[in-house]
Structure 1
Amino acid sequence: MVFSVLRLRNFRNFFLSEIISGFGVGMSTIGANWFLLDQTNSTKLIGLMLSLNVIAGFLVAPLIGILTDKFNRKVIILWTYLVQSIILIGITSLLSISGFKIEYVYLFAVVNGMGWTTYISTSRSLVQEILSDQDYINGNSLVEISLQVGMFMAGAASGVIYKYFGFDFILIFNATAFIFSSIFLSKVKYNSITIDNKEESYRESFKNGVRYLADRPKIFFLGVVAIIPLASTMMFNVVLPGYVSDTVGGDSIVFGLSDMFYGIGGLLSGFIAAPVAKKISNNSTVILFFWISIGILLSFAFNSYVLVLFLGSVLFGLSNSSLRIVMNTTLMETVSKSFMGRAMSVWMAISLIIQAIASPVLGLLIDKFSPGVGFIALIGLMIIGFIIYFIVIRGVKQNQNTKYVRTG
């Protein structure tokens, strides 16, 4: 049963920490998108903001991967939350004193990008440390549930809070959420893995991490497939504001509710992905949810109704989150714990490159044509992920058949 791992006190505290931080991050991310659209009426600038977000994450990814494999992963997360809280309070003060300046929103995007990259690399590596192998699928399901519960609550509340209290309040709320999240995370007690590479230079440690993946192309490409649903979700946030405003004719509340329904789908994935994978196999589950995701994006491209947007957001959240659960479990079962941080940083860097290139292009296309074009581009990305996965598993099956023939 999915909730069986909550009997473990360490994972229970980690789970609560994830919900709180996810709520804060979700509130500020949704709020920043709508705040910038409100102030500038430009989807192109939202794309640029996301580009700064991902470029900042890309630049710190190699360092974060090395630190994750060299030092205590929980401590890294705690320091990240503390620094983000201080900077968010500083940005709020600047907005209160001098009013809207686009540089302040871009500073938020840079800090958010660095924090998100650190979170992905360290939190997934920490889950791998505090759980046993047989609990990975349930643990990943609950991690996704915690993230989506936070995002779900943020989506439900952010539009209303932004409309009546403003973006300043949302930033302070995010800073406070990080502090409370840190309290629960600090209660996680575990024996950290033995670090064998503490004496290595940072350069040598990075080279060894890259070499680890280069010697294992199957693992590398599985990791690439795993980050494509994440990249498509981030890019979905570039398309969504203009889509809600222009195509569906909604406001900040409709925008927030769309994110809320995506969160509901992500929440459902925590209950559905593991049982489906056990019933029809991991490979069939990945293929199934790739096609569901592609179908939903296609329906968005030709839709102009709010109800279809809400229903589609549920299914899109369900499919993308299920893909992440199954793929992250596969990676945790396959990648050595001592290399997990560096491996995740490489995959995050690739995801960020995709987003950095695609986000401004999406913004320009949407401003010139329509948000529907943005969804067509996302379909192309998901199809690429499906093709890579199909090639990898086909190669694995061929190798297994060859070995069977030789030994038979």
Structure 2
Amino acid sequence: MNRNISLITLNQFLTNTADSIFQIVLFWYVYHQTGSALSASLVTAISFTIQIFLSPLIGVLSDRYNPLTTMQVSFGILGLVGVIFAPVYFYLKSLIVIYIYFAVIIHTCCMMLEGSSKNRLIPLFVGEENVVKTNGYISSSGNLASLIGNSLGGGILAVISFAGVMLIHSGLYFLAAVILLFLIKVKSSQEKSEILVTELKAETKKSDVKLKKPKFFQEMLDGFKLLKSNRPLLKLVILSTVLNIAMLNASLLVVLVSDQYHGTSTIYGLFNMFGIISSIVIGLIIGKLTTKFKTPTLFAVGLAISGVATVLMGVTNIIAIGILLNMLVLASGAILRITFNSFMMICVEDKFRGRMMSLAIAISAIIVPAVSLLGGYLSDKFGVGIVYILSGSWIFIWTLFPLIDKDIREINLGIKQKRGEFAKSI
């Protein structure tokens, strides 16, 4: 069990290191080529647009096949994207911008497949009683990797070429795929876990009897029906969708630090570094938080802290205070993200988990492309501080919703951890 948790955590570290290198190099190139906040926001808009339209399809794929296999295929494709980038960079520079946008699309699709498959894999290999703890570990590992990746990406970019950075990024993805080969399938003490592990083994066995699978569209439609029937999860997805209106400030931290705080790239690095450190701390203690506090309380406190801190970031121009506020924003975001992901892993049966995760992504992201572009426009027009104030105010408005909604009030991850019991399946 501990071996699997360690391997999954290491896999997440490698994945996030590669992903952060990709993101920082990409945003750096786009922003400094155009000098426009709107152009930087366009990359986010493209990524979320892909999520909206393709997430349901990718969710069906992740449920149809062995999660280990789909994760490894995803890492392999992501690695190839960086390898192919090298000849494009050196010999086809006129096509480099087109290839970058193509890479964003492929990267988004593969990361969605990897994420959906990972949500299936974790409960099967660590047991549902360890889901919150494992999610905390991989969150901390991922945030540490992002910190290292941001530093490595910028540093390596200054020493070697853009193509060299992408090759390093590819090597990390290939290594992440290899790590998964060392996972050991274990049986949980709970009867249902034994059934799920058996189902996973059955998926990997070759059989002379070909089972007739439901039609692709029907499987996707089943996912919508199941989401509708699970009211607590549906309410959380709706809340996430509404809160994403606050993503006006998506990708605008660099603009805030530069324009409002008059900071250098070093100051921007400090904002990221301390923010990620706060997320790492939350990841390490989230298991204890979910046993001591009710889940709706964690949601409400996370929203309140995030909202107030975001507003204040748009008001102040003192660097030290801005760094502290950014730490609070990322820490509260980690609480919300880990709690939501853990609940989804526990409350959804394995064979539907990929579809449910992908549907949650698609639905919650539906407003993000337009909102992120609007945020970039408002920042160029009225100043980035106004965008942060609007975003934080919107988040704070929804603070009490988790406490007053009867379906969300029923969620309690702490009990599931203490008893090691399975949640009622859909």
- Shorter-chain TM-score: which interval? 0.7 to 0.9
Match of 2:315 in 1: 302
Deviations 1:61-107 (A, max 9, x none): 11211111111011111101111111222234323334475323322
Whole-angstrom distance in 1 between the partners of 2:198 and 2:397: 37
Deviation at 1:381, TM superposition (A): 4.9
1:57 paired to 2:15: no
- Superposition CA RMSD, Å: 2.6
Deviation at 1:258, TM superposition (A): 2.6
Return the match for 2:346 from 310, 313, 333.
333
Deviation at 1:266, TM superposition (A): 1.4
8 Å contact kept, 1:219–1:335: no
Whole-angstrom distance in 2 between the partners of 1:46 and 1:296: 23
1:369 paired to 2:364: no
Deviation at 1:301, TM superposition (A): 0.7
Residue identity in the other structure for 1:262: G
Deviation at 1:24, TM superposition (A): 0.9
Deviations 1:193-221 (A, max 9, x none): 35899611111111111111112232211
Deviation at 1:383, TM superposition (A): 3.8
Whole-angstrom distance in 2 between the partners of 1:108 and 1:214: 34
Match of 1:167 in 2: 162
Whole-angstrom distance in 2 between the partners of 1:330 and 1:178: 28
Match of 1:35 in 2: 29
Residue identity in the other structure for 1:120: G
Residue identity in the other structure for 1:392: D
Whole-angstrom distance in 1 between the partners of 2:386 and 2:156: 30
Match of 1:354 in 2: 367
Whole-angstrom distance in 2 between the partners of 1:342 and 1:247: 42
Return closer, same or farther for 1:65/1:137 CA change in 2, 3 Å cut-off.
same
Residue identity in the other structure for 1:206: M
Return closer, same or farther for 1:245/1:103 CA change in 2, 3 Å cut-off.
farther
Deviations 1:116-142 (A, max 9, x none): 322322212211222222112211111
8 Å contact kept, 1:163–1:252: no
Deviation at 1:392, TM superposition (A): 2.7
8 Å contact kept, 2:249–2:375: no
1:108 paired to 2:103: yes
8 Å contact kept, 1:24–1:175: yes
Whole-angstrom distance in 2 between the partners of 1:167 and 1:386: 43
1:151 paired to 2:151: no
Whole-angstrom distance in 1 between the partners of 2:156 and 2:179: 25
Whole-angstrom distance in 1 between the partners of 2:394 and 2:246: 11
Q: Which secondary structure does the structure 2 equivalent of 1:238 belong to? A: coil
How many residues are aligned here?
A: 390
Match of 2:230 in 1: 216
Q: Which secondary structure does the structure 2 equivalent of 1:79 belong to? A: helix
Deviations 1:343-364 (A, max 9, x none): 1011110232232121111111
Whole-angstrom distance in 2 between the partners of 1:320 and 1:235: 16
Match of 2:285 in 1: 272
**Which sits farther off after the overlay, 319-328 or 103-112?**
103-112
Residue identity in the other structure for 2:168: F
Q: Which secondary structure does the structure 2 equivalent of 1:353 belong to? A: coil
> Mind listing any 5+ residue stretches in structure 1 that lack a counterpart?
1-6, 398-408
Q: Which secondary structure does the structure 1 equivalent of 2:299 belong to? A: helix
8 Å contact kept, 1:264–1:317: no
Whole-angstrom distance in 2 between the partners of 1:259 and 1:228: 26
**Which sits farther off after the overlay, 164-173 or 192-201?**
192-201
1:118 paired to 2:113: yes
TM-score by length of 2: 0.83
1:389 paired to 2:395: no
8 Å contact kept, 2:135–2:338: yes
**Which sits farther off after the overlay, 83-92 or 285-294?**
83-92
Match of 1:241 in 2: 254
What pairs up with 1:17-32 in 2 under 5 angstroms?
Answer: 17-32=11-26
Match of 1:201 in 2: 215
Deviations 1:345-403 (A, max 9, x none): 11110232232121111111111111113223432553465455344347757xxxxxx
Match of 2:72 in 1: 78
What pairs up with 1:393-408 in 2 under 5 angstroms?
Answer: 393=406, 396=409
Deviations 1:280-333 (A, max 9, x none): 222222211211111210111112233233222222221111111222222222
Deviation at 1:277, TM superposition (A): 2.3
Match of 1:3 in 2: none
Q: Which secondary structure does the structure 2 equivalent of 1:63 belong to? A: helix
What pairs up with 1:224-239 in 2 under 5 angstroms?
Answer: 224-225=238-239, 236-239=249-252
Return closer, same or farther for 1:112/1:275 CA change in 2, 3 Å cut-off.
same
1:312 paired to 2:325: yes
Q: Which secondary structure does the structure 2 equivalent of 1:193 belong to? A: helix
Deviations 1:118-172 (A, max 9, x none): 2322212211222222112211111211211211212333333334435333322
8 Å contact kept, 1:265–1:317: yes
Return the match for 2:60 from 57, 63, 66.
66
**Which sits farther off after the overlay, 171-180 or 247-256?**
247-256
Match of 2:180 in 1: 185
Match of 1:405 in 2: none
Residue identity in the other structure for 1:341: G
Return closer, same or farther for 1:92/1:345 CA change in 2, 3 Å cut-off.
same
Whole-angstrom distance in 2 between the partners of 1:79 and 1:118: 9
Whole-angstrom distance in 1 between the partners of 2:6 and 2:87: 35
8 Å contact kept, 1:149–1:263: yes
